[in-house]
Amino acid sequence: MTNHYIDFRNADVILNMGGNVAENHPVSFKWIQAARDKGAIFIHVDPRFTRTSTKADIFVRLRSGTDIAFLGGMIKYILDNKLYDEFYVKNYTNASFIVSPKYSFDDGLFSGYDSTKRAYDASTWAIEKDENGISKRDMTLEDPRCVFQLLKKHYSRYTLQKVTEITGTPEDDLVKVYKAYGSTGAPDKAGTELYAMGWCQHTVGVQNIRAMCIIQSLLSNMGIAGGGINALRGESNVQGSTDAGLLYHIWPAYLPTPQAHLATLADYNKTTPASKDPRSVNWWKNRPKYVASYLKSVFVEKANKENDFGYAWMPKLDQGQDASWLNLFDEMYKGTFTGFFAWGMNPACSGAHSGKVRQAMTKLDWMVNVNLFDNETGSFWKGPGMDPKKIKTEVFVLPCAASMEKEGSISNSGRWMQWRYKASNPPGESKPDGDIMYELFKKVRALYEKGKGAFPEPILNLKWDYETNGHFDIHKVAKEINGYFLEDIPEHPADKKAYKKGTLVPSFVYLLDDGRTSCGSWLYSASYTEAGNMAARRKKTDPTGLGLYPEWAWAWPVNRRIIYNRASVDLDGNPRDPKRPLLKWDAAGKRWIGDVPDNAVPPMGTAGAYPFIMKPDGVASIFGPGLKDGPFPEHYEPLECPIEKNVMSNQRISPVIKIFEGGPDKFTTCDPRYPFVCSTYRVTEHWQTGVLTRWLPWLIEAEPQMFCEMSLELAKLKGINNGDRVVVESPRGKVEAAAIVTSRLKPFQVAGQTVHQIGIPWHFGWIHPKDGGDSANLLTPTVGDPNTMIPESKAFMANVRKLTTKPAQKG
């Protein structure tokens, strides 16, 4: 999130599209209601009428997988009706930037496409530079090659009639939403967007969000109170786990994982984002300091300038290698791995195409599964269709402590890092995860110390000393993440002050690239300083009156509560929205008052810098040349879709998605055997695969079993009554469910045909409760967004039919 949960109350218009906030983030809804109490308009756009829709001032339906068409129409509406904020668009976005003459777009393909590689050469999408290397601009926005004109041209195709044809949303409904949301383009109006997996889990997931970023930039809704692009993430610490680099492509705090062609740290540092524009802060220019400090936190005294701070000891990807989830399980299925950790995860139910995932696990020699309860991953070898006598995999299930049985911090979607205390001991012999991994590594190191082993250096040199009185001490890790001065620094370049060896760095501003500082994660630097554990703070001061609560817990980066907040002021540093003054320049005191400024440079009118400091050009990207599937979002159908032809072009599906073929991977489109669009989703009473919640009597009583929602019309067509047992099946698998026949779903009229949509929750699994049904992911396809490889679980094709035989006996 650029903003945070309480900030919803500051909005004039709230759009929840790609999510179901009332059911999946229920308590945050109080801040939507707080906004509505003050007159805000709440809009819900979704294929299904949910409890969120019941509270919406405007609810409209769209067919799953057509969000870009919907939003493309909104971009056109905003441009046609001049609802955009001209000052903001000219000064704070790349609308005025001139794009290379080589850029073009024709019939669904951007320039630079190579059909044999199914990839683009993005060099034709470059922004033109002048002789000083600064991006060329036309502040009148009239140059036919400027971003603004290219935007206009691209979205001129998204007429109401075409958008309706694709989405199934009536034209009147489209206009209702466009008009309401477009009203937030006034500088004193704020519009916010709340999304979740309903946008991510598509082969165009990133571009769904990009389309909204364009809208937010046109309407001056970024960097302001009550605005922003707000991902309502699904897990209490999925923000923190992402920040910590538990993904193949990033080290902690979004440092790219090194690739093989970058042999030395100097090679790696050559890829540091650069800008020649003196008005661009380009914060990423500091990356070498963060990399060196991270390596020092990994290897400490063993890392020095001479050995590249141990850069060579860290594993490298091949250039361009994608080791993400779907590829990981594809490799596992092929037998690439002998060992596997499923630590605090249940991929046997959460992984797309779970049937393939479960089969993949039979190829392993060993698996370590750490969890609170028995689950379908640890027990996969005795699951449906498995014969334990034929499965070689050795399985260790390690029982771990629950959240209130240990100490540590988590980060919510608003980037608030909050400390949790230990209330009780974990039951039986279960232990906190931190203790388990701490002990395990000590044993691994001891084994490598004893005998010969492959490349022992990183194991022997690793800093692993997080104990107090012989016990693992989480505070020592928290401090390591914040960072230390490793030597006395008599006069620090940042502030000319002296700092003592062994003290905690005050913030990432103090990190150095020469080995004199360590820092586990630069974004979390300033979270645990000599002044104490910031995440544990509980003071409820609110100096701005905007609900920022700067002394409650701590937010990354540097306790900034709203990111890019200098975009909320004019060139002189005065708030553009006097009702919601997030930041104001105090000219006499030469300082900003309000939120922690997104970089403490003076206002733009006084030789200051652009507000979007993480972007090399310093401005918001309406034109986004950095993605794999194009600089503007374009509508493509899901991999599995109900219509033969894309209404927008001859490219039915995204031209750059990876197609997994052969073996268990099967797809269908316009196949009469699988005629219905299917989405997976969640209910309030369960969480994710249900790995925790299915074991709680209160919750399993409320939502005891797998179900399939369908419209009255579809039920009639298929002869299904409410409560009937049904089978839902895709080319990959099937699940049994109870039918819920409801007017919450309705058929769509799409490209001249009737399209039915069904929905199933993904909380269930065969292990418990015994008659609760199995995972919805047995049906979902192995296909992902080309940028993120997040699977397309929100739009695939399935069939539903009444179960005429007795339900199969389970377990």
Nearest approach, Cβ of residue 779 and another protein (Å): 15
* Closer to another protein by Cβ: residue 140 or 403: 403
For 275-287, give the DSSP string: ---TT---GGGGH
For 705-725, give the DSSP string: S-EEEE-HHHHHHHT--TT-E
Phi, psi angle pair for 95, to nearest 5°: -55, -30
AA letter at 359:
Q
Nearest approach, Cβ of residue 451 and another protein (Å): 9
- For residue 57, CA distances in Å to 8, 13, 186, 212, 239 come to 16, 10, 21, 20, 30
Nearest approach, Cβ of residue 243 and another protein (Å): 7
* Closer to another protein by Cβ: residue 221 or 350: 350
Contact 456, 437 (CB under 8 A): no
Element spanning 475, H or E:
helix 474-482
Burial of 473 (0-12, 13-18, 19+ CB in 10 A): middle
AA letter at 783:
V
What six digits make up the tokens of 155? 């979205």
SS3 call for 596: coil
Distance CA 557, CA 553 (A): 13
Is the peptide bond prior to 26 cis by the omega test (within 30 degrees of 0)?
Answer: no
Nearest approach, Cβ of residue 89 and another protein (Å): 31
Distance CA 94, CA 618 (A): 9
Burial of 695 (0-12, 13-18, 19+ CB in 10 A): middle
Contact 780, 745 (CB under 8 A): no
User: Crossing angle for the helix pair 171-182 and 67-80, nearest 10 degrees?
Assistant: 60
* Closer to another protein by Cβ: residue 325 or 485: 325
Nearest approach, Cβ of residue 207 and another protein (Å): 18
* Closer to another protein by Cβ: residue 66 or 780: 780
Nearest approach, Cβ of residue 632 and another protein (Å): 25
Is the peptide bond prior to 747 cis by the omega test (within 30 degrees of 0)?
Answer: no
Phi, psi angle pair for 295, to nearest 5°: -60, -35
* Closer to another protein by Cβ: residue 264 or 754: 264
* Closer to another protein by Cβ: residue 536 or 738: 536
Nearest approach, Cβ of residue 686 and another protein (Å): 8
* Closer to another protein by Cβ: residue 304 or 684: 684
* Closer to another protein by Cβ: residue 332 or 648: 332
* Closer to another protein by Cβ: residue 605 or 811: 811
* Closer to another protein by Cβ: residue 165 or 480: 480
Nearest approach, Cβ of residue 760 and another protein (Å): 16
Distance CA 558, CA 483 (A): 13
* Closer to another protein by Cβ: residue 352 or 735: 352
Nearest approach, Cβ of residue 37 and another protein (Å): 14
Nearest approach, Cβ of residue 457 and another protein (Å): 9
Closest residue by Cα to residue 715 from 758, 775, 679: 758
* Closer to another protein by Cβ: residue 184 or 201: 201
Nearest approach, Cβ of residue 268 and another protein (Å): 13
Q: How many CB atoms lie within 10 A of CB 664?
A: 17
C-alpha angle 349-355-357 in degrees, rounded to nearest 5: 70
Nearest approach, Cβ of residue 147 and another protein (Å): 30
Can you say how many angstroms the Cα of residue 377 is from the centroid of all Cα atoms in its chain? 24
- Mode of pairing for the β-strands spanning 58-60 and 41-45: parallel
